[in-house]
Each structure stands twice: as C-alpha cells, then as structure tokens.
C-alpha cells in the first residue's frame, strides 16, 4: 500500500487527518505565481513552457506542503489541440473560435493529432514526477466533455451555457458527435498524462449543473463513465476524481453511475447531506466556500472544522468547493491547513 495519503483516501481508507489540496492552488493570489506568469509573458506561454508550468505547480507545495500537486494547465488546451483557435483576453478570460454546426464538428482534427499540441504538457508532468517530494501525489486533469463543449460552441465562458443548450436542441446528433470527439480526445489526453507520471486524474465538469433530467444522464454521466472505463482498462489502479459541479441531488449515486473513485463537491450542498448520500459510495473531496479564503477569521476556522467533522466517518480529501480566487489572502490558506492538521 502506498504511503501517499491522497492515494490511500482514494482507495477508500478513512484517515485520522484528511489530506488536503486546493483547486487553483497555483494561481494569482500567490505573488510568486504572478512573478512567474510575468516571466512567461502570457497565460498560454506559461501553460506550454514545461519548466515554468512545473515551477508554478511546485510553488504552493513549497509554501504550504499540500498533499497533492495539480498539473498547471487548462481545460481549454484540449479544444486547441483538436483544432480550435484559443486566446486569452487580459481581464476578461478565454476566447475560442466557435463551432456552430455539424460541419464545424467534422472539421476538427483527428484525436491522434492532439499530442502534437499537448506534448509540452506531458513534459511538465515528467518534470513534476521527478521533482515533487515523495509524499506528494501528482494529479493530472481535463475538462469533462460537456463543460469543454460549452466553451467550444460559445467561444467563451457563458453564465447559463445558452449557446451549447441551443446547439443541443437544434441538432442533437451533431451535438452528440462533438461530445464523442471530446470524449475520445480526453481519453487520449489523460492516458498520456498518466504515462508521463500523473498518479490520479480529475475531470472538471464545471457546468454540469445546467444539465437537467435525461440531458444530465446523456452528457454528464455517460461521457464520464466512458472516459473512466477506458482509463481503467488501460491504467488499472489509477484513481479518477469526478467534479460534476452544481449537480445538487445528482451528486448522490454519481460515483456508482460513472465508476469514479471520488466525487468533488461544490459548496452548494450540505456536508451532512453529502456525508450520508455521497460518501457512502466512497471518497469525497471539497465543499469549503472559497470566499472564506478572502474573508478568513474565525468563520474560516469554524467552517473548516465543521467540514472535517462531517466527513470524519469515511474517506475524505479536504478541498474547496471551487477554485481559490485572486483576491484571497495567502495567510488564510495557512489558517485553513492549521485548522485541519491542528
Ligand atoms: O491569468 C491567469 O493566470 C489565468 C487564470 C487561470 C488559471 C490560473 C486560468 C484561465 N486557468 C488557470 C489554471 C487552471 N485552470 C488549472 C490549474 C491547476 C489548478 O487548479 O491550480 C485548472 C485545473 C483549470 C481548470 C479550468 N479552466 C476550469 C475548470 C475548473 C473551474 O474553475 O471551474 C475551467 C472552467 C477553466 C476555463 C478557464 N481558464 C481560465 C479562466 C479564467 C477560465 C474560466 C473562464 C470562464 O468560464 O469565464
């Protein structure tokens, strides 16, 4: 059995002190991240320069001693590797060329071509596998197909994923073909990350909550299940964390329906509900409101302890309900870790 606490929790072990890492732990709230990002020039250069991407991945490990490091990259690199144009507008966010019909889906590059673009990401993983402390787990990741599709269709982040829902309503077959292509690309991308040294992979379905009823089954559950089955066939024993953000009641049963080893929780569900309905199927992760990393104080300590207590009867990895924001106070991260490891 590995002595890495994250791997033990993912295999179902209840630990006296939950291991901890943070979504977006390498990010703009850290001065050392801002310095390396300035050195890289722009965000995509940072993602595609292995030495610098590895450096920012390591920064929060050095500063806080988190139990896991998450590869520094972005979910939008896969669409770019499939042929979409991608750029970042400072102060606004990502922009992509849009896919509006079946012809747009058909024009995407074949899955085998993705490695031409993504090979620097695999090099970052190789560097990290060498340089991380031996007790630190390396997590690779990708976006889940629905969330990635929302960006490929709209060309940007959207509050309600309206353009993706409209495409799905107008031409369900073409939409399903896009989901299939992203699913196959994701299997190839995550397999390559694992071959380079990722010990766990996570699927970010940030917009899963806007899929309702049968759409949730078809476009959140089914692609996730297909990706996990393919990864388990190629890389048995490599755990997968699924993050169907804002899934609400659909969090219950998600691990069983998809084969995920752990489910990451946003902060809209109650920890007590999730302990009863989600943790009964395996490891859970998340739930702390990221705003507490801005406001801090006694509320941060109390809420951290409340979440640790709520999940103390089963396998648990401490994390936030979503990414830490640029206005967070780095000292609040230390307070959270002290409250956990006390
Ligand atoms: O200028 C900067 O530094 C850009 C900010 C930033 C960062 C730090 C972006 C742009 N991406 C990232 C890194 C990133 N993105 C990681 C690295 C590892 C870590 O967690 O530390 C990860 C896992 C992601 C994943 C990601 N990118 C998601 C899924 C998780 C989530 O937050 O919901 C999504 C939706 C994206 C798209 C994206 N990339 C960046 C932005 C600002 C956005 C959101 C755009 C939008 O919806 O408007």
| Per-residue pLDDT tens digits for 230-270 | 999 999 999 999 999 999 999 999 999 999 999 999 999 99
Question: Quick one: how far is CA 121 from the chain centroid?
Answer: 15
Q: Which atom number of ligand 1 is nearest to the Cα of residue 57? A: 21
Q: Which atom number of ligand 1 is nearest to the Cα of residue 28? A: 3
Look at the block and give the residue holding tokens 């979440």. 307
Enclosing domain of residue 22? 5-341
Residue 91 pLDDT grade (very low, low, confident, very high; cuts 50, 70, 90) = confident
Catalytic-residue membership of 266: no
Q: How does the average pLDDT of the chain come out, rounded?
A: 97
Task: Please give the Cα distance from 15 to 3 (Å, whole number).
Answer: 12
Residue 210 pLDDT grade (very low, low, confident, very high; cuts 50, 70, 90) = very high
What's the mean pLDDT in 95-105?
Answer: 97
Number of structural domains found in the chain:
1
Q: Is residue 175 scored above 90 in pLDDT? A: yes
What's the mean pLDDT in 164-170?
Answer: 98
- Mutating to test ligand 1, I would choose from 323, 324, 325, 328 the residue with most ligand atoms within 8 A of its C-beta, which is 323
For the record, the structure tokens of 110 come out as 């074949």
Residue 1 pLDDT grade (very low, low, confident, very high; cuts 50, 70, 90) = low
The catalytic residue among 14, 28, 34, 63 is 28
Q: What is the pLDDT of residue 75?
A: 98
Catalytic-residue membership of 37: yes
Ligand 1 lined by 72 (C-beta under 6 Å): yes
Percent of the chain with pLDDT over 90: 98
Task: Please give the Cα distance from 275 to 145 (Å, whole number).
Answer: 27
Name which residue sits closest to atom 1 of ligand 1, judged by CA. Answer: 43
CA of 27 to the centre of ligand 1 (A): 9
Q: Which helix (H) or strand (E) holds 57?
A: helix 50-64
Q: Is residue 169 scored above 90 in pLDDT? A: yes
Q: What is the pLDDT of residue 342?
A: 86
CATH of the domain at 95: 3.20.20.210
Q: What is the pLDDT of residue 150?
A: 98
Q: Supply the Cα-derived Rg of the chain in whole angstroms.
A: 19
For the record, the structure tokens of 224 come out as 């996730």
Q: What is the pLDDT of residue 90?
A: 87
Task: Please give the Cα distance from 111 to 115 (Å, whole number).
Answer: 8
Q: Is residue 321 scored above 80 in pLDDT? A: yes
């Amino acid at each position: 059995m590995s002595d890495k606490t994250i791997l033990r929790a993912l295999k179902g072990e209840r630990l006296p002190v939950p291991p901890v890492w943070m979504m977006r732990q390498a990010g703009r709230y850290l001065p050392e991240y801002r310095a390396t990002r300035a050195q890289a020039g722009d965000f995509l250069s940072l993602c595609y320069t292995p030495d610098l991407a590895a450096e920012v991945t390591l920064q929060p490990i050095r500063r806080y001693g988190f139990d896991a490091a998450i590869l520094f990259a972005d979910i939008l690199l896969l669409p770019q590797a499939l042929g979409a144009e991608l750029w970042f507008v400072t102060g606004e966010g990502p922009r992509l060329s849009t896919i509006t019909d079946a012809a747009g889906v058909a024009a995407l590059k074949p899955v085998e071509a993705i490695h031409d673009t993504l090979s620097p990401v695999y090099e970052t993983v190789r560097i990290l596998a060498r340089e991380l402390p031996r007790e630190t787990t390396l997590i690779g990741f990708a976006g889940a197909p629905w969330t990635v599709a929302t960006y490929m269709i709209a060309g940007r982040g959207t509050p309600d994923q309206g353009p993706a829902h409209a495409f799905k309503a107008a031409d369900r077959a073409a939409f399903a073909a896009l989901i299939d292509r992203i699913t196959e690309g994701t299997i190839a991308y995550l397999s390559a990350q694992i071959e380079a040294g990722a010990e766990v992979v996570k699927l970010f379905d940030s917009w899963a909550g806007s899929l309702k009823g049968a759409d949730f089954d078809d476009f959140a559950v089914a692609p996730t299940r297909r990706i996990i089955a393919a990864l388990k066939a190629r890389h048995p024993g490599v755990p997968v964390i699924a993050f169907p953000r804002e899934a609400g009641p659909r969090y219950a049963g998600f691990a069983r329906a998809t084969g995920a080893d752990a489910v990451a929780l946003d902060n809209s569900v109650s920890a007590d509900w999730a302990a009863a309905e989600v943790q009964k199927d395996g490891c859970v992760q998340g739930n702390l409101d990221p705003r507490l990393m801005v406001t801090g104080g006694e509320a941060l300590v109390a809420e951290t302890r409340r979440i640790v207590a709520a999940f103390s009867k089963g396998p648990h990895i401490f994390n936030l309900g979503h990414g830490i924001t640029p206005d967070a106070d780095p000292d609040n991260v230390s307070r959270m870790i002290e409250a956990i490891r006390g």
